[in-house]
Copies of this chain bind each other. A is one copy, B any other.
Amino acid sequence: METLGHLINGHMVHEGQRQQSIYNPATGAVARQVSLASVATVESAIAAAHQAYPAWRNTPAIKRARIMFRFKELLEQNATRIAELIGEEHGKISHDAMGELQRGIENVEYACGAPELLKGEHSRHVGPNIDSWSEFQPLGVVAGITPFNFPVMVPLWMFPMALVCGNTFVLKPSERDPSSTLFIAQLLQEAGLPDGVMNVVNGDKEAVDTLLHDKRVQAVSFVGSTPIAEYIYATATANGKRCQALGGAKNHAIVMPDADMDNTVNQLIGAAFGSSGERCMALSVAVAVGDATADRLIAGMQAAMSSLKVGAYTDSHNDFGPVITREHQQKVLGFIDSAEQQGAHVVVDGRHIEVCGHEQGFFVGGTLIDHVSPEMHSYKNEIFGPVLQVVRVKTMQEAMDLINAHEYGNGTCIFTRDGEAARYFSDHILVGMVGINVPLPVPVAYHSFGGWKRSLFGDLSAYGPDAVRFYTRRKTITQRWPSAGVREGVEFSMPTMK
């Protein structure tokens, strides 16, 4: 059985000490083994990045960007293989995996614009014959720690921008599904990246803690759950590093009485159940304004959910696949149980799904729960499964108060035709990413991704314009040249030279 190693200084490195199994969640079988890096291995990756830094930092931005142009081509040429690797270890259906890759490629495209993005500000004449300008210089070695749910896209949120800004990188992907991540890192080597500029270490907490404590690491980008994000942020900043740590979410959609209900239902189906709900931008709570609205919504969802197809990634007709592990499957089922016990009404029940030929897969069926209320366990926590809960309120203000009171503030959405409702909502909601009739308002790659409240720790959002600021340090130069130099002296000095 294949054992995955680490990409360090341009080469695959294997280490025998500790290993862990990677499962195919559609079958429940072990697919591969992965080495878990020791402190020494992580340090060798950091050392490689540290050594590669000076030359890379001195490479003009346009040349760094051109490697990204080539990387984009290779990602596109290898799309099918990448989607397969995602499917095998994550369980995502191929169309979903291709979508993930496409969103990742958009970040590579954005990174191709590095020369424009890295421009500083120049001021002639800030004082008598004094000029001043700013430069955005790279930080040095930076690290990324990424989650299982987007093994390709989330790494691509980080390293393309970090690299074109002139940094070198050490990435620790999720140990659940690292194959696709490792594969794209190898494509980046093939695109012409010098050895050591990009390194990948597989591992667990030992690897993470090594990255968090090593003095050579200047910054850490993290995406994962809120408790871990909080730990990463506190530890990294206490160690003098720059850090942005993105955590959990509980994304609400307000459904207004004037919403186009067909459209709303269509949108919610994908946003709630796509990728088995294992997305930090999954739409997991629908807040219906008025019982009439709620009733129409429930009826529409129930009808639409009857044709949802759940199964293995190998059949592209499936809508979504299994969740990542058996433990997680049990956790999701537990949330449904608890909602029921606390008085909610399970309208569509995905707890007892059987996928023919994949009886050992970690499947949960699409689940719709009505009459959920804010004190319920299933409402307070992020379920990260294919479960849509409906809360009924009387007014839009009540709906907004609910959202603003939740500890998370990642994404949210409103379904309405009314310009005023949309504007009031987007202005006053305490959430970082807002959709107007768009249930999954993930910003495009040329904007930035960031939640509010306990969904993001740090000042700057991920990817897009904020990434430039995160992955660079501002340097401001103020310049005055003393006069009476060669310019004025010429006429006088010339005769003496003859």
Interface positions of A (Cβ within 8 A of B) = 58, 60-62, 65-66, 69, 72-73, 106, 109-110, 112-113, 115-135, 137, 233-234, 237-238, 240, 242, 256-258, 260, 263, 289-292, 394-397, 416-424, 426-427, 431-438, 441-450, 452, 454, 457-461, 465-466, 469-470, 473-487, 490-491, 493-494, 497-498
Contacts and interface: CB of A to CB of B under 8 A. Distances in A.
B118 A123 contact: yes
A31 to B, nearest CB: 34
Q: Which 8 A-B pairs have the closest CB atoms?
A: A113-B113, A420-B481, A436-B479, A122-B122, A290-B494, A120-B122, A441-B478, A260-B482
B124 A122 contact: no
B452 A290 contact: no
Contacts of A481: 417-420, 423, 436-437
A112 to B, nearest CB: 6
A123 B494 contact: no
A263 to B, nearest CB: 5
Nearest to A293: B494
A242 B422 CA distance: 29
Contacts of A490: 256-257, 289-290, 394-396
Contacts of A234: 237-238
Nearest to A256: B486
> What is the oligomeric copy number?
4
B112 A122 contact: no
Contact of A469 (B419, B469, B475, B479): B469
A227 B116 CA distance: 34
Contacts of A417: 418-420, 481-482, 485-486
A383 to B, nearest CB: 24
B291 A498 contact: yes
Contacts of A396: 486-487, 490
Contacts of A137: 124
B444 A65 contact: no
Given A263-B482, A446-B119, A476-B443, A69 B109 contact: yes
Interface of A is mostly: mixed
B127 A485 contact: no
A122 to B, nearest CB: 4
A435 B256 contact: no
B446 A123 contact: yes
Contacts of A109: 62, 65-66, 69, 112
Contacts of A436: 419, 477-481
A240 B420 contact: no
Nearest to A427: B124
Contacts of A446: 115-116, 119, 123
Residue from A291, A416, A444, A475 with most neighbouring chain B CB atoms (10 Å): A475
Given A116-B446, A263-B482, A131 B474 contact: no
Contacts of A486: 256-258, 396, 416-418, 420-421
A72 B112 CA distance: 12
Contacts of A438: 130, 478-480
Contacts of A435: 477-479
A486 B269 CA distance: 25
A56 B65 CA distance: 27
28 contacts: A60-B126, A119-B123, A122-B122, A123-B446, A134-B443, A237-B457, A240-B454, A240-B457, A256-B486, A256-B487, A257-B486, A260-B482, A260-B484, A289-B494, A292-B497, A395-B491, A396-B486, A397-B487, A417-B419, A417-B420, A418-B418, A421-B485, A433-B475, A437-B480, A438-B479, A459-B459, A459-B470, A461-B474
Contact of A125 (B61, B291, B460): B61
Nearest to A449: B476
B459 A106 contact: no
Contacts of A290: 490, 494, 497
Contacts of A127: 60, 444
A114 to B, nearest CB: 9
A483 B292 contact: no
B479 A121 contact: no
A296 to B, nearest CB: 10
Contacts of A449: 476
